[in-house]
Structure 1
Amino acid sequence: MRLRARHYTRAVAALAAGGLLLTGCSAADRASSQSKGGQSTGGSGTRNVAPDGGGRTAGQAEGESDGVERSAPPADYLSTFALDVDTASYGFARRTIGSGRLPDPKTVRPEEFVNSFRQDYRSPQGNGFSVTADGARTSADGWSLMRVGLTTAAPAPDSVRKPAALTFVVDISGSMAEPGRLDLVRTSMELMTDRLRDDDSIALVTFSDKAKTRIPMTRLGGQRTRVREVISALRPDSSTNVEAGVTRGYDEAVKGLRAEATNRVVVLSDGLANSGDTSADGILERVAKARKDNGITLYGVGVGSDYGDQLMETLADRGDGHTTYVSDPEQARKVFCDDLPAQIDLRARDAKAQVAFDPRTVEKFRLIGYENRRVADQDFRNDAVDGGEVGPGHSVTALYAVRTRPGAAGHVATATVRWLDPTTRAPHEESAAVEVAALTARTWTEADARFQVTAVAAYFASALRERGGGWEPVPGALPLDGLAERASGVADMTQDTDVRGLADTVRQAARLMG
């Protein structure tokens, strides 16, 4: 069930000491909202908000009351994080488990497992976000799972999107000789070259111990044959100097910058840096000016059975982009022929989410994952603090474990997403609220199929993380055999091949873990 534009009658929380306001709706908004059960979906449009972090709505002067009372919850009842659309952690874990090994727990990021699967959130009107909040009960006493879903509008038709200026930075080091690395990259790039438009531009940089520009920024119209020839001639070489490749890539991206286009650096590598500066921070420091001044985002594509997950993930997170992982031609075709061309545009820059829990109804809560994406609560409306970059048709899901107080009823939390327009840098926000009934009326195994997929993915990631110690299990977890059975049933319901793959992977992991 959904509750459109549900704005609860209590005021949304404010953290006065940090200058942080979670803006409630007007009385007129409340009067026109529709209640349809426990789930809440954000309003049909977006609101402009003051860029000074004061939390005023558009047109509201400083010091002017908007007629809404606000109370201040304790600071530890706020949860703030940058949006993350990465999926590489799940892709690499699936590849590793398929080869008969369990992944290193340090490479398991639950949010990337959760965000690897399609959701059916309502699409927003316009170029902003819709916000959906719902939940379900677990078998653990008093604990529920609360899902916060954020989604952007579908991509524009390829014929009307902005042109792209893509700088490919391709790892041709010796480690890329393994089947499923450079050969997969070559095939993928050749396919994508055919998929892009004539007015799109690409540059190609390769790196091993040194970096080399193979193709400066070039419009594809009339040059596809040449581009394909250069790509097909790529062969593995020596050591892996990611620093040299990324630095040269950004240099080429700046030289070929197109003001009217979406400018992006695409790094394709196994991430096994062994020469030059091997730290993501050091590499990004060298390209910080180009990255910030010119709005060039980074997209990382990981390959290989041995994979430098941490380097690639950090490069993408701090390079204003995201990362994915491919291990076979089918995945590569999806990434290069479908996802990357469709998501060339950006819908949001520096997107952050903040969830304000109500201490009157919530005893404890825990965000599952996002450890590397946490943001200080007081920086939610500080637009100088990096958030996440989100493209068209992206859904971002955050899953919380929430323990409600005995006998609690009413408001549980309000989730707010804030982002900057990619072109104007104007800030916008959208919110949705959720109540206790949404979290307790059903168990997660009785919830809709897509909620169950989210829960299975999170429980699976939690089981893999627990092996490394220092990880608190998600309340209400099933044994892996039972989780695989549940995933198989959901795959039957959805007829989704990705969910079928999840069920198979959970079952394989259960065997490996004995």
Structure 2
Amino acid sequence: MANVNCSNEKNKAVVNYISQNSEEYGIFEENGIKGVSTEPLSTFSIDVDTASYSNMRRFLMDGLLPPKDSIRIEELVNYFTYDYNEPYGDKPVEIYGEIGECPWNSNRYLAKIGLKAKEIHIEETKENNLVFLIDVSGSMEDEDKLPLLKNAFKMLVKNLREEDRVSIVVYAGASGVALMPTSGANKERIIEVLDKLYAGGSTAGGEGIELAYSMAKNNFIENGNNRVILATDGDFNVGMSSEIELENLIEEKRKEGIFLSVLGFGEGNIKDSKMEILADKGNGNYAYIDSIMEAKKVLVNEMGATLYTVAKDVKLQVEFNPSKVKGYRLVGYDNRRLNNEDFNDDTKDAGEMGAGHTVTAFYEIIPYDSEEEVPGVDSLKYQKNVSNESNEWLNVKLRYKHPEKSSSELITRAIGEGELKYNNSTDFNFASAVVELGLILKDSEYKGKSSVDDIINRARKGKGIDVNGYRAEFIKLAELVKELR
């Protein structure tokens, strides 16, 4: 059950809401302040999931503040795309950097690290072998579940090509094949099968996943995009239901070149933490679909990023220069931390980037001359006064694998004085506003002087060219937070 802050009457509504359903969210300790003298390296797996943002929106649109454990700040930030440079040459990913003042703590700086994956035009994409794994159990009968799910998949089907194949597996009390592999040219047949689906029975989720993977393997396309797309409210209560069993199966199939993406639907029954884990283990992404517009965003506007992996096992390792930085804190990615030695270990799983994906991470930076106390800064005698003429603040190392390869490649970029801006970019202003709202909704101990008014003003300043209206919507959500707090 979610951990809810009950400090005021409005939050009691959240308690009442949660007590009447079985939604589950993972509980993770926030990343803390680290001293550069003792911990100069920060290592983590990237994350392209966006479920936390649309789930947050669902709560706010219902007039409720979301449970704080449902807020994963990196997913709020990565819901949006940013104007980063396209990768050069054969590199699938490029690194971007920018530093500015920290809006919620005037004694610190904020470093923004951005990644941009290579765009792929539809005519360049691989053939698709897609298996729609659809939960048709009794809990899926609500309008925001199976009916919305069917309309979402229809949108995807309409954009498939003749060379693409679709199979449909359903599961409830038992699992079964609703559609054998069918060409994307036969859209009417695929849509007809979707229209006939109805909800009823319990949830044999594990059995359904096994059957879906079997279908994907039997129709495997060499050098193609072989993927299971699981659509569910997250309830796995019959059959192979332990997370360890499911994870082991999904990891095994991942090694065979079959990836898993997860789409969450509905309210009252969301098993958010479980669905996030399954997508991570399956080299896929996890999105929460709360409306037909969100379905269009995930399955049409961003279909390349959703379906086509261009870099897998993407890890970041940031090294801080002690002559410039006294301490740092990675904002978000609380459940993506890796041991430093994992960075060069190609057997360690990490996140995937799809075509055109952007990934953003922020570090709060305590400058080297700050009087702020930092853990470990006094523990080493000879590290306190490091002399270094370099203007670099931090060095970013990125490891990734090509989707078909098992060995990683390395990209590096230093970020420093040249990236320090006193008039930050439009994207920096907007993304930092998203981070700050996340700090407030999490009731983070690091929220400092966060202010919803400041968030709204900075988001308006950073709105920029907003073709799809996503940034304008964020501003409206921030206004709702102001009213609900």
Query: What's the TM-score bracket when you normalise by the shorter of the two chains?
Result: 0.7 to 0.9
Per the TM alignment, residue 381 of structure 1 is displaced from its structure 2 partner at its CA by 1.2
Structure 1 stretches of 5 or more lacking a match? Answer: 1-72
Output the aligned Cα RMSD: 2.1
Q: How does 1:218-297 map to 2 (within 5 A)?
A: 218-221=182-185, 223-292=186-255, 294-297=256-259
Q: What's the counterpart of residue 431 of structure 1?
A: 412
Corresponding letter in the other structure for 2:111: M
Name the CA distance, whole Å, in 2 between partners of 1:234 and 1:375: 42
Match of 1:509 in 2: 481
1:342 deviates by 6.0
Q: 1:458-509 deviations in whole A, cap 9, x for unaligned?
A: 111111111xxxx43245x431233223323433675661111111111111
CA–CA distance in structure 2, aligned partners of residues 497 and 175 of structure 1: 32
2:335 is paired with a residue whose SS is helix
Please give the alpha-carbon distance, in whole angstroms, between the structure 2 residues aligned to 1:205 and 1:115.
30
Is the counterpart of residue 118 in structure 1 residue 81 in structure 2?
A: yes
For residues 362-381 of structure 1, the aligned pairs below 5 Å read 362-381=325-344
What's the secondary structure of 1:371's corresponding residue? coil
The alignment status of 1:299 with 2:261, answered yes or no, reads: yes
- Equivalent residue for 1:68? none
Aligned to 1:413: 394
Q: Distance in 2 between matches of 1:390 and 1:101?
A: 32
For structure 2, the 5+ residue unaligned runs are 1-35, 371-387
- Aligned partner of 1:295: which letter? G
TM-score scaled by length of structure 2:
0.84
Question: What amino acid sits opposite 1:131 in the alignment?
Answer: I
For 1:28, the equivalent position in structure 2 comes to: none
Amino acid at match of 2:177: T
1:341 Cα deviation from its structure 2 partner: 5.0
Q: Percent identity?
A: 28
Conserved in 2, the CA contact under 8 Å of 1:241 and 1:276? Answer: yes
The answer for the alignment partner of 1:84 in structure 2 is: 47
Contact kept, 8 Å, 2:428 with 2:462, in 1: the verdict is no
Question: Could you say which residue in structure 2 is the equivalent of 1:482?
Answer: 454
User: Partners of 1:359 and 1:424 in 2: how far apart?
Assistant: 36
* 2:56 paired with 1:96: no
Query: Could you tell me how far apart the structure 1 residues matched to 2:139 and 2:463 are?
Result: 36
Determine the structure 1 residue equivalent to 2:115: 150
CA distance in 2, matches of 1:481, 1:74: 36
- What is the CA distance between 1:274 and its match in structure 2? 3.1
Q: Distance in 1 between matches of 2:102 and 2:302?
A: 34
Aligned partners of 2:298 and 2:306 also within 8 Å:
no
Q: Tell me by how many angstroms 1:180 deviates.
A: 1.7
Equivalent residue for 1:40? Answer: none
Structure 1 residues 121, 331: closer, same or farther in 2, change over 3 A? same
- The number of residues matched between the two structures is 429
Give the whole-Å Cα distance in 2 for the aligned partners of 1:263 and 1:505.
37
Match for residue 434 of structure 2 among 457, 470, 485: 457
Structure-1 separation of matches of 2:156 and 2:304: 8
Name which of structure 1's ranges 487-496 and 366-375 shifts more when overlaid on structure 2.
487-496
Pick from 123, 129, 151 the counterpart of residue 165 of structure 1: 129
Residues 250 and 281, structure 2, Cα contact 8 Å, conserved in 1: no
CA distance in 1 between partners of 2:461 and 2:323 (Å):
37
* TM-aligned CA distance change 1:256 to 1:449, over 3 Å: same
Equivalent position of 1:398 in the other structure = 361
Aligned equivalent of 2:150: 186
SS at match of 2:122: coil
Instruction: Check the 8 A contact 2:94/2:116 in 1, yes or no.
Output: yes
Match of 1:214 among 153, 178, 192: 178
Which SS does the other structure have where 1:486 is aligned? helix
Residue 422 of structure 1 and its aligned partner are, at CA, apart by 1.5
